[in-house]
Amino acid sequence: MTVGLAASAWTDAGIKFGNSLGAVAGFLGILLVVFFAAGRASGRFGRPLAITVMLGPAVLLLVVGLVAPLVRTLFLSLYNSDSSRFTGFDNYAWAFTTESIHSVLLNTALWLLVAPLTATGLGLVLALLVERMRWQAVYKSLIFLPMAVSLVGAGIIWKFVYESRGAGQPQIGLLSQLAVSLGWEDPPNWILSQPLNNFLLMAVMVWVQTGFAMVVLSAAIKAIPDEVTEAARLDGAQGFRLFKDITVPMIRTTLVVVLTTVMITTLKAFDIVRTMTGGNFGTQVLANEMYSQSFVQFDVGRGSTLAVILFLAVLPLVAYNIVQLRKERETR
């Protein structure tokens, strides 16, 4: 019986693998035929065909993967939970008038204010400090290392750090054991302590994003011309004055880009909250509430509404980031 089930599983896996391999081979075959036809085209149709071949797949994937889901989400946000009745803007009225959603929006705004500023500030400080050390590549690698950890993995790691047990029991959480070592006999359950738990969750995002901020800002600091720094020092600029009057203005564009990038990542924060608290104990944020409405409570209308609100919140940050990047390219 067991042997038969194992053989059936292997057969099923082989069929699925063969189907996947066939699909990939078919896709590559189509691309080869299209590129061959574009290469052989000549005359007045040559350039339009080449442009179509090069941009066509990207445009198609953009429409299928982004534009079509966006339009569908906008459409679903105007309907009830099972999309059977048009309700207009009732879901948006629910989102902005319900007290529980107000709490979610407030938590999201708090995340958006604290986590990006802290991560960018720490990244800038570390970039300046590491720049003065030997073996700076090693230190940068160690600080950047959390970026290689998924947010789910980071959430699990820090969930153990915040683990707390009752008084007299051996503590396995690093934070609780540290509190006991400092004389706090009965440390609280950190994840249940409001509003402290929100800041503890933000610390995970800061831990992950600080390395990114440090590496990018360190590259920007290195790009400052030596002539500018030397001229400022000859004029008497030292220490904090040199940092305030020369370093910060010279890397301002990069600083803004890093800050807005971390803000976009923070605004979409889902993995950390879902892994560590599930949105309970006053830690719910917009991205996790969107998931809960759509896939836990199966209210597609309200979930789509929150998705649209999240999209509209991210859109200005993305646009501002693009503008800043274009300005930086123009200056170069």
164, two tokens: 């707390």
217, two tokens: 């800002």
| Mean of the per-residue pLDDT values of the chain | 84
Q: Which of 76, 110, 141 is the last residue of a domain?
A: 76
What pLDDT, on the 0 to 100 scale, is given for residue 43? Answer: 60
What pLDDT, on the 0 to 100 scale, is given for residue 165? Answer: 81
Report how many domains make up the chain.
2
My answer on whether 140 and 71 are in the same domain is no
This prediction has a pTM of 0.80
- For tokens 């020092």, the residue is 233
Domain range enclosing 201: 90-331
Over residues 190-219, mean pLDDT: 91
Q: Which residues face 79 on adjacent strands?
A: 86
pLDDT-derived band of residue 331, with 50, 70 and 90 as boundaries? low
Residues 6+ apart with CB under 8 A from 36: none
Distance CA 260, CA 275 (A): 25
Residues 6+ apart with CB under 8 A from 76: 83, 300, 301, 304
What pLDDT, on the 0 to 100 scale, is given for residue 207? Answer: 94
Over residues 210-217, mean pLDDT: 91
My answer on whether 233 and 327 are in the same domain is yes
In a domain, 98, yes or no: yes
Q: Which of 76, 106, 139 is the last residue of a domain?
A: 76
Q: Which of 76, 107, 142 is the last residue of a domain?
A: 76
**The pLDDT of residue 315 is above 90:** no
Residues 6+ apart with CB under 8 A from 272: 151, 154, 155, 201, 204, 205
What pLDDT, on the 0 to 100 scale, is given for residue 91? Answer: 92
In a domain, 127, yes or no: yes
CATH number of 312's domain: 1.10.3720.10
Over residues 111-131, mean pLDDT: 91
Q: Encode pLDDT of 7-29 as tens digits.
A: 676 777 778 778 888 888 887 78
My answer on whether 50 and 137 are in the same domain is no
- More confident of the two residues 242 and 305: 305
- More confident of the two residues 311 and 14: 311
What pLDDT, on the 0 to 100 scale, is given for residue 6? Answer: 62
My answer on whether 37 and 121 are in the same domain is no
In a domain, 65, yes or no: yes
Dihedral sign from CA coordinates of 296, 88, 77, 275: negative
Q: Encode pLDDT of 50-83 as tens digits.
A: 777 777 777 888 888 888 998 999 999 999 988 8
Of 70, 67, 88, 66, the residue nearest 79 (C-alpha): 88
In a domain, 85, yes or no: no
In a domain, 313, yes or no: yes
In a domain, 271, yes or no: yes
**The pLDDT of residue 2 is above 60:** no
**The pLDDT of residue 117 is above 90:** yes
Contact criterion met (CB below 8 Å) for 331 and 311: no
What pLDDT, on the 0 to 100 scale, is given for residue 304? Answer: 93
What pLDDT, on the 0 to 100 scale, is given for residue 94? Answer: 92
My answer on whether 208 and 277 are in the same domain is yes
Secondary structure string (H, E, C) spanning the chain? CHHHHHHHHHHHHHHHHHHHHHHHHHHHHHHHHHHHHHHHCCHHHHHHHHHHHHHHHHHHHHHHHHHHHHHHHHHHCCECCCCCCECCCHHHHHHHHCHHHHHHHHHHHHHHHHHHHHHHHHHHHHHHHHCCCCCHHHHHHHHHHHHHCCHHHHHHHHHHHCCCCCCCCCCCCHHHHHHHHCCCCCCCCHHHCCCHHHHHHHHHHHHHHHHHHHHHHHHHHHCCCHHHHHHHHHCCCCHHHHHHHHHHHHCHHHHHHHHHHHHHHHHCCCHHHHHHCCCCCCCCCHHHHHHHHHHHCCCHHHHHHHHHHHHHHHHHHHHHHHHHHHHHHHHC
What pLDDT, on the 0 to 100 scale, is given for residue 62? Answer: 86
